[in-house]
Structure 1
Amino acid sequence: MANHKSAEKRIRQTLKRTERNRYYRTRIKNITKAVKEAVASNDATKAEEALKVANKDLHKFVSKGILPKNTAARKVSRLHASVKKLSAQIA
């Protein structure tokens, strides 16, 4: 274990940050998975609703500094393309 007060504090900070980062990583995976599953099940309305949530949340993570802007834009763009492709197939 740590021998200094500052090292103990750094351990506490690291644990907090690890938990926080785990939450955001899991959230990003889950919202993208929801869109992909809706597309896979050929449910356009469900896919569009999931895409709205994904777009909102990913851009919220950008504003909080969790995700780089271009990364979020790339993820949203790819999800949007898959939903658009599904809508074109159904129509």
Structure 2
Amino acid sequence: MANSPQAKKRARQNEKNRKHNASLRSMARTYMKKVDAKIKAGNHDEAQAALKEAQPIMDSMVNKGIFAKNKIARHKSRLNAKIKALKSA
């Protein structure tokens, strides 16, 4: 339990930041799921458009420190590979 005024303030700030970060993380995951849903639906053009829309969001989450750089790079790479496989199929 925080006793000093500065510790109480930090506790308030941490809680506020935790909620904000959770919201951003959820938003990024939603964009990733939208791309995945388009891939599963089998529509190459829509999946490509969804990925193009999701990439800047994903990159901004890296810049904000919400996700690690390599995690987002891995997700983008895998989604792109799935879209390419969809086109060739």
Matched with 1:4 is: 4
Distance 1:84 1:54 in 2: 16
- Quick check: 1:69 aligned with 2:66? no
Q: Which SS does the other structure have where 1:9 is aligned?
A: helix
Distance 2:70 2:2 in 1: 39
1:15-68 CA deviation, whole Å, 9 max, x = no partner?
Answer: 111111111210121011001100111111110111112211111222233322
Which amino acid is 2:21 matched to? N
Distance 2:53 2:68 in 1: 18
Name the count of aligned residue pairs.
89
Structure 2 runs not aligned, ≥5 long: none
Could you tell me the percent identity over the aligned residues? 36
Distance 1:40 1:80 in 2: 13
Is this contact kept in 2: 1:54–1:76, CA < 8 A?
A: no
Q: What is the RMSD computed on CA atoms of the aligned residues?
A: 1.5
With the length of structure 1 as denominator, give the TM-score of the two structures.
Answer: 0.86
The 5 Å alignment of 1:48-87 reads 48-87=48-87
Is this contact kept in 1: 2:28–2:61, CA < 8 A?
A: no
Runs of 4+ in 1 over 4 A off after TM superposition: none
Structure 1 runs not aligned, ≥5 long: none
With the length of structure 2 as denominator, give the TM-score of the two structures.
Answer: 0.87
